[in-house]
Amino acid sequence: MYTMETMRQEIAAAVEKVRALKPLAPSITNTVTVNFVANAQLAAGGTAAMIYLPDEAEALAEAGSSFYINVGTLLPIYRETVPLAAQKLHALHKPWVLDPVAIGIGSLRTELLSLLKNYPPAVIRGNASEIIALAGLWNLSGGTETSNVHGVDSTDTVQAARLAAISLARFTGGAVAVSGTVDLITDGRQAVCSYGGSSLMESITGCGCSLGGVIAVYSAVASPFIAALCGTAAYNFAGREAERHAAGTGSFQLAFLDALYNASPKDISLTQFTPEEV
């Protein structure tokens, strides 16, 4: 169990380690947001590589320090690519992050997310409805496969996903980050609510997807819980800072990447979060 002080110390240490080591965190991700994911990973201090082909997935799962799998905008070839990446990562005991974007839409997405239960990720990042639906698909407490997923948007509150998030974290032995107005991060033993961000984050594509990629970067140097908390705190800090300088959604995206790049370990570690009982 982490105290608040040790959480802040571990967050600052993770930020410093990433910037010193520049770990490679390859991604299979949403084609709508691939550029933003890569640039956010670079801004955080990591190294990005975007994967489509099965042989690339195996090779870079081995070469990378961690990995990110996002099931948005699936391509037919991902029926091969995603399982091969997950199997390789599992065999190598490497941390990876799952974003179950738009769970419940289409048979291929359901097939892949069902299969990934066999290769548990270190961190699951999603909105409340996605977390509830994934717990339901995996037959875990707090979940239902008929959750209110609406495209890539959530119609459930973060607190409504609390039990599902805890169940998923306990099943994987890792952590879950539920994104919303107030974010929830849990490893199944403890939980925190993280505050900050900006309402403009809902008006651009890629904030959630790129957060998953940045959490994957931090997963290369920190425990799943600290990686999820660090990525979320970094985003809440950068979102708040970017809103101060942005004239609209276009300049907000640029200001967000600048804020993420310029954020100090202290800036991120001191972002507001509070403990919750589990």
Query: Any known ligand binding at 173?
Result: no
CB-CB contact of 96 with 69 (8 Å): yes
Query: Any known ligand binding at 106?
Result: no
Query: Any known ligand binding at 45?
Result: no
Query: Any known ligand binding at 206?
Result: yes
Q: Which residues are annotated as a binding site for ATP?
A: 125, 179
Q: Which residues are annotated as a binding site for substrate?
A: 50, 206
Q: Which residues are annotated as a binding site?
A: 50, 125, 179, 206
